[in-house]
Structure 1
Amino acid sequence: MSGKVKEPSSWHILGKDLKQWMLDHAFAIGCALLFLIANIAHSIWKAAKHIHADPNGHSLSFSRTYLENHLRPGAMSPKPKEPGLISWIMHTVESLVFVHGILLLIIYFLLILVILSVAQSHLGAWRTVGTSIVTALLGSFIGLGICYLVSQTVHGWIRLDRIPILLSPLTLIIGPLMAESAFESVLWKRRIVLISYTFVGTLLLFSGNPGDYCNLAAAVVGHVMGLMMHGRDGERVHWQRGTDYEIRRLFAFVQVVLAIGPILSITSTSRFGLLTTMGLFTSSLLDGSSFVTACGANQTLHSCIIITGQHSVALLGLWLHILLPVAALGLVAWGLYHGRKAAAWTSIAVNGLVVLFTIVYYVIFPLTITTSNMETTRRYATMPAFVVTALPSLLLIIFMTRELAHFQVPTGKTRVRTGLGAMVASLIATSAVYALFALSWPSSFFPKPTVKLLALDMLRRILPLGFGGRQSTLIRPRTMAATLIGTGMTVIFWLTVLIVFIFWFRDNISPDAQDRTRANSLVELGGDSMSFMTTWEDNHYWFSPTGRSAIAYRVMHSIALTVTGPFGARDEYMRDLDDFTAYCDEHGWSPAFYAVHEDQKDALQQHGFSSIQVGTEMVIDPNAWQTRGHKWQDIRTAINKAKRDGIVDVLCTYDSAGFDVQQQIVEISEQWAQLKALPEMKFTLGGVEELRDPRVALLYAIDSKGVVLGVTSWLPTYRNGKVIGWTLDFMRHRTDSPNGIMEFLIARMAERLRDEGASDPEHAVEFMSLSAAPLAGMGEGRGKTVQIHADATGANETSMQQKKAESVTNETETQPAASKQDDRKEGPDLRNGRTSGTEIIEHALQIVADVLEPAYGFKSLFFFKRKFQPTPAPVYICYPDSSKLAQIGITVVSAYVPELKPNQVVDVLKTMTEKKDETKEK
Structure 2
Amino acid sequence: MGYARFAVWYLRLVAFVNFLSAVWVSLGQDVRRHNQEDLFTPYLLTAGFASGVFTAFLAITMRRRKRAAWLLNLGLSGAFLALLAFAMVFPEIRRHPQNWVSLGLTAAFVGALVLGRREFYAKGDRANPKLAAAVGAGGLLASSLLAALLVTVTNERHSTFAACWRYGTLRLVSITDFRSPGIATPNWVDVTVNGLSTVLLLAVLYAAFRSRRAVDPLTDDDEKRLRELLDRHGERDSLGYFALRREKSVVWSPSGKAAVAYRVVGGVALASGDPLGDPEAWPGAIEPWLDQARAHGWIPAVMGASEEAGTVYARHGLDALELGDEALVEVAEFTLEGRAMRTVRQAHNRVRRAGYAVRIRRHEEIPAVEMATLVKRADDWRDGATERGFSMALGRLGDARDGRCVMLECTDAVGDLKALLSFVPWGPHGLSLDLMRRDRDSDNGLVEFMVIELLLRAREMGITQVSLNFAMFRSVFERGGRLGAGPVLRLWRSLLSFFSRWWQIESLYRANAKYRPIWEPRFLLFEKSADLPRIGLASARAEGFLELPGVHRTHLEKQR
1:613 and 1:779 in contact (8 A); partners too? no
Residues 567-582 of structure 1 aligned to structure 2 (within 5 Å): 567-573=276-282, 576=285, 580=289
* Corresponding position: 1:663 with 2:373: yes
Kindly name which structure, 1 or 2, has the bigger radius of gyration based on alpha carbons: 1
* Corresponding position: 1:331 with 2:57: yes
Which structure carries more strand by proportion? 2
- Where in structure 2 are there 5+ consecutive unaligned residues? 152-157, 159-165, 549-560
Corresponding residue of 2:154: none
1:728–1:495 distance in 2 versus 1, CA, 3 Å: closer
Residues 44-59 of structure 1 aligned to structure 2 (within 5 Å): none
Corresponding residue of 2:543: 896
* Corresponding position: 1:531 with 2:240: yes
For the residue of structure 1 that corresponds to 2:127, the secondary structure is: helix
**CA distance in structure 2 between the partners assigned to 1:265 and 1:631 by the alignment:** 65
1:770 and 1:865 in contact (8 A); partners too? no
Identity rate of aligned residues, in percent?
17
**CA distance in structure 1 between the partners assigned to 2:221 and 2:417 by the alignment:** 33
* Aligned with 1:622 (options 324, 327, 331): 331
Corresponding residue of 2:516: 869
Cα distance, 1:338 vs structure 2: 1.1
* Corresponding position: 1:416 with 2:113: no
**CA distance in structure 1 between the partners assigned to 2:46 and 2:276 by the alignment:** 52
**CA distance in structure 2 between the partners assigned to 1:661 and 1:898 by the alignment:** 27
**CA distance in structure 1 between the partners assigned to 2:219 and 2:491 by the alignment:** 35
Cα distance, 1:324 vs structure 2: 2.1
1:653 and 1:694 in contact (8 A); partners too? yes
1:609 and 1:878 in contact (8 A); partners too? yes
1:682 and 1:897 in contact (8 A); partners too? yes
- Higher mean alpha-carbon deviation, 843-852 vs 603-612, is at 603-612
For the residue of structure 1 that corresponds to 2:238, the secondary structure is: coil
RMSD in angstroms over aligned alpha carbons? 5.1
Cα distance, 1:890 vs structure 2: 4.1
1:516 and 1:535 in contact (8 A); partners too? no
**CA distance in structure 2 between the partners assigned to 1:496 and 1:408 by the alignment:** 27
Cα distance, 1:336 vs structure 2: 0.5
Letter paired with 2:502: L
Letter paired with 1:327: V
Cα distance, 1:563 vs structure 2: 1.4
Letter paired with 1:335: T
Residues 694-733 of structure 1 aligned to structure 2 (within 5 Å): 694-702=403-411, 705-718=414-427, 723-733=428-438
Cα distance, 1:655 vs structure 2: 8.3
**CA distance in structure 2 between the partners assigned to 1:409 and 1:848 by the alignment:** 42
Cα distance, 1:716 vs structure 2: 1.2
The answer to which structure, 1 or 2, has the higher relative contact order (CA under 8 A, 6+ apart) is 2
Corresponding residue of 1:400: 113
2:268 and 2:538 in contact (8 A); partners too? yes
Corresponding residue of 2:257: 548
2:132 and 2:204 in contact (8 A); partners too? yes
Corresponding residue of 1:193: none
Corresponding residue of 1:253: 9
Cα distance, 1:580 vs structure 2: 4.7
Cα distance, 1:500 vs structure 2: 0.9
Letter paired with 2:468: S
Cα distance, 1:571 vs structure 2: 2.0
Cα distance, 1:430 vs structure 2: 10
Letter paired with 1:332: L
1:547–1:261 distance in 2 versus 1, CA, 3 Å: farther
Letter paired with 2:405: V
TM-score (norm 2): 0.72
Residues 93-112 of structure 1 aligned to structure 2 (within 5 Å): none
Cα distance, 1:345 vs structure 2: 0.8
1:543-579: per-residue Cα shift (whole Å, max 9, x none)? 4444432333445566544312212333223565566
1:696–1:848 distance in 2 versus 1, CA, 3 Å: farther
1:713 and 1:730 in contact (8 A); partners too? yes
Corresponding residue of 2:200: 496
Cα distance, 1:652 vs structure 2: 2.7
**CA distance in structure 2 between the partners assigned to 1:734 and 1:476 by the alignment:** 64
1:878-911: per-residue Cα shift (whole Å, max 9, x none)? 444445444444444443344469xxxxxxxxxx
1:635 and 1:744 in contact (8 A); partners too? no
**CA distance in structure 1 between the partners assigned to 2:395 and 2:140 by the alignment:** 50
1:436-469: per-residue Cα shift (whole Å, max 9, x none)? x9xxxxxx9xxxxxxxxx9xxx89x8469xxxxx
1:268-297: per-residue Cα shift (whole Å, max 9, x none)? 9899xxxx9xx96xx697554xx4xxxxxx
1:900–1:286 distance in 2 versus 1, CA, 3 Å: closer
Cα distance, 1:715 vs structure 2: 0.9
1:156-196: per-residue Cα shift (whole Å, max 9, x none)? xxxxxxxxxxxxxxxxxxxxxxxxxxxxxxxxxxxxxxxxx
Corresponding residue of 2:496: 846
Corresponding residue of 1:684: 391
Residues 8-23 of structure 1 aligned to structure 2 (within 5 Å): none
1:551 and 1:567 in contact (8 A); partners too? yes
1:394–1:695 distance in 2 versus 1, CA, 3 Å: farther
* Corresponding position: 1:562 with 2:271: yes
1:817–1:353 distance in 2 versus 1, CA, 3 Å: same
* Corresponding position: 1:352 with 2:78: yes
For the residue of structure 2 that corresponds to 1:862, the secondary structure is: helix
Letter paired with 2:125: G
1:426 and 1:492 in contact (8 A); partners too? no
Which structure carries more helix by proportion? 1
Cα distance, 1:617 vs structure 2: 2.1
Letter paired with 1:682: G
1:859–1:268 distance in 2 versus 1, CA, 3 Å: closer
Residues 369-384 of structure 1 aligned to structure 2 (within 5 Å): 378=91, 381-382=94-95
1:2-38: per-residue Cα shift (whole Å, max 9, x none)? xxxxxxxxxxxxxxxxxxxxxxxxxxxxxxxxxxxxx
Corresponding residue of 1:518: 222
Cα distance, 1:391 vs structure 2: 3.9
1:541 and 1:550 in contact (8 A); partners too? yes
Letter paired with 2:272: V
**CA distance in structure 1 between the partners assigned to 2:536 and 2:3 by the alignment:** 27
1:631-677: per-residue Cα shift (whole Å, max 9, x none)? 55545984797499483513031783442464255335524527xxx
Cα distance, 1:350 vs structure 2: 1.4
Corresponding residue of 1:212: none
Letter paired with 1:536: R
**CA distance in structure 1 between the partners assigned to 2:484 and 2:4 by the alignment:** 37
1:809-851: per-residue Cα shift (whole Å, max 9, x none)? xxxxxx44389999xxxxxxxxxxxx998x6896477246513
Corresponding residue of 1:505: 209
For the residue of structure 2 that corresponds to 1:710, the secondary structure is: strand
1:519 and 1:550 in contact (8 A); partners too? no
**CA distance in structure 1 between the partners assigned to 2:490 and 2:299 by the alignment:** 22
1:564-616: per-residue Cα shift (whole Å, max 9, x none)? 22123332235655665565555555544322223234555677765444333
**CA distance in structure 2 between the partners assigned to 1:483 and 1:736 by the alignment:** 57
**CA distance in structure 1 between the partners assigned to 2:121 and 2:21 by the alignment:** 34
Corresponding residue of 2:162: none
Size of the aligned set, in residue pairs, is 517
1:395–1:605 distance in 2 versus 1, CA, 3 Å: closer
Corresponding residue of 2:309: 600
2:362 and 2:407 in contact (8 A); partners too? yes
**CA distance in structure 1 between the partners assigned to 2:93 and 2:208 by the alignment:** 42
For the residue of structure 2 that corresponds to 1:413, the secondary structure is: coil
**CA distance in structure 1 between the partners assigned to 2:377 and 2:482 by the alignment:** 42
